[in-house]
A and B are shown apart, each in its own frame.
Chain A
Amino acid sequence: MMTSESPTLQKAHSPLVQSLRRFWSAPVSPRPLAWFRVGLASVLLVQAFGQVGHLDGLYGCHGIVAWSVMSEQLPSGVPNLAWLETALRPLGLPAGFEVPLAFALYIGALIGLLLGYRTRMTALLALLTHTALMMSGEMSMYGVDRFAQIGLFYCVWFPVGCALSFDKVAGRVSGVTSFEAWLGLRMLQMHVCVVYFASGVEKALGEQWWNGEAIWRAVMMMHDGLIDCSWLASVPRLAQILCWMTLLLEAGVILFVWHPITRKLWLLGIIGMHLGIGLVMNLWTFSATMIVFDVAAFGVRPRTGSRKAPTAPSVPAHVATSRETERPVRPYLQASRSARVAESSEL
């Protein structure tokens, strides 16, 4: 059979070409996206509970930054709490009621998202309420809120509720491999690559990231940090190496993440970097959010169609042989079908 194939076809079956074909076309399971949903919702819930007691100050009409201060800088057409306040006014509810209401809806939506209950709808509600809170407390936002917005937007569009969810248990969605899961995972992976590459390149433009001063300043500016890092001044070479490693991990993401071995090393390195940021700079929610993005994109096996089929139940040898003879199937398609069956039974 092999002798009848043209050299081009043989070439097309080479491992590299098959890998590329799998990467660009083989459906993947929704598991990585499901873990992304669970991780993101968990971190955002913890983050949200940390704000309880300060809602009026952070988001209120007469908060620390009154709405009137930022009203000119708000992008038009984007939901904010002033909309909700206007909508609630005819109901005669107490002034400022829009803040706890939006926050309660946000918490409820995050719990729904975490459990995977009516996932797309709860993700949309979480996205809208998060946007409204973000726009009304624009000046108190930081990196984690940008990533929350990105993550919640993906949760609306991609099949994040097709595994590890109530929707799956209730039979509203199927956990089999799908094109949508493939697209979602690839989008997430490419977005993570852009995040780190852009961050790495922009850092590399600054002198501080080459002479070690960036790490020194970052650890020293946390005057109420958990650890005193002033000793770093006596070992400037260590600060310099840490800066270079950061540049390498971030700007080198595109080179590292596609090969299994370098991907593991990169993932360990980048998780270590975020744990360091959390520990030294007290940016725990930011670190946790980034770890969720990284692990979901590159740390959870997507179980594509290339996955080897599990050992089949014992079948008489002549039966198996006769099936193979009767219906020759191209190897990658056969594996894809077997994996799909395995996936649906497993999930």
Chain B
Amino acid sequence: MSFRRSIWVLCATGHFVVVICGACSSLPDSNRGPAAQTVRWYATMSGAGTNYGFFAPSVGATHRARFVLRDAMGSTWPDVFDQTNSPEARLRLTGIVEAAFMTGDAQQLPEWRKRLAKSWAATLFARHPNAVSLTAVVEFYDVPTMAEYRDGSRTSWQEVYRAEVQRHSSTDQAGSEK
């Protein structure tokens, strides 16, 4: 095997090792020094750091966010940010809520969750200039087991998070979270 081919095979082997580490979620943490940072960078750029546990080990629940806006006169009206005719765009917009709440990040990082709710609110306030406040509600789609379904239980939306946001300020009501 020529030198050039040997180099190619060596690079491919290294890449494959990163692929396996990514699949096992055992890539080194970035805080462990420049070498680990380089591996992480390479894993991100090449996609080799991807974990393939789709719908594993169990299938989670779909989440959605809905908003109730209020104007200075006290009138209220609902809106969502994932209403679109494009299935691809809808999938991504719905995915934003799931990325925060399905993964557990939103529960573990309350300060980050507050910033996220404010970001959603900013989008809605830009869309509705006359709104002075809004209530953001995140719900998950509760699916009963097959046995429960046969016994009469049905799917339903269950609230997991609620935040009140004022224009120019934010109140993440700790007591309203479920």
Contacts and interface: CB of A to CB of B under 8 A. Distances in A.
Interface stretch (A61-69, A106-114, A161-169): A61-69
A147 interface: yes
A50 B86 contact: yes
B62 A140 contact: no
Contact of B87 (A151, A183, A284): A284
B146 A233 contact: yes
Contacts, number: 188
Nearest to A153: B46
Interface string B56-73: 111101100000000000
A233 B93 contact: no
Counting chain A CB atoms within 10 Å of each CB, which of B5, B116, B141, B146 scores highest? B146
B59 A214 contact: yes
Nearest to B23: A198
Contacts of B52: 194-196, 198-199, 202
A337 B57 CA distance: 49
B59 A51 contact: no
Interface in B67-83: 81
B40 to A, nearest CB: 6
A216 B45 contact: no
A236 B144 CA distance: 13
Contacts of A233: 146, 149-150
A300 interface: no
B8 A150 contact: no
Contacts of B62: 221-223
A101 interface: no
B interface majority secondary structure: helix
Given A65-B116, A183-B12, A218-B55, A139 B19 contact: no
Contacts of A66: 119, 122
A64 B123 contact: yes
A26 B92 CA distance: 43
Contacts of B41: 75-78
Contact of A206 (B9, B16, B57): B57
A154 B115 CA distance: 37
Nearest to B127: A57
Contacts of B92: 51, 54, 58, 137, 140-142
> Most chain-A CB neighbours within 10 Å: which of B9, B19, B100, B122?
B19
Interface residues of B, number: 60
A28 interface: no
A47 B45 contact: no
A205 interface: yes
A282 B59 contact: no
A62 B121 CA distance: 11
A187 B146 contact: no
Nearest to B114: A69
B139 to A, nearest CB: 11
A208 interface: yes
B86 to A, nearest CB: 5
Given A57-B93, A64-B123, A150-B48, A191 B19 contact: yes
Contacts of A146: 47, 50
27 contacts: A50-B88, A51-B88, A53-B86, A57-B123, A58-B89, A65-B116, A66-B119, A69-B115, A69-B116, A76-B37, A131-B44, A139-B95, A139-B100, A147-B50, A149-B46, A150-B47, A150-B48, A151-B47, A194-B20, A196-B52, A199-B56, A206-B56, A213-B146, A214-B58, A217-B61, A232-B146, A284-B87
Interface of B: 5, 8-9, 12, 15-16, 19-20, 23-24, 30, 37, 40-41, 44-48, 50-59, 61-62, 81, 84, 86-89, 91-93, 95-96, 99-100, 112, 115-116, 119-120, 122-123, 126, 141, 143, 145-147, 149-150, 155
Closest 3 CB pairs of A and B: A206-B57, A50-B88, A149-B47
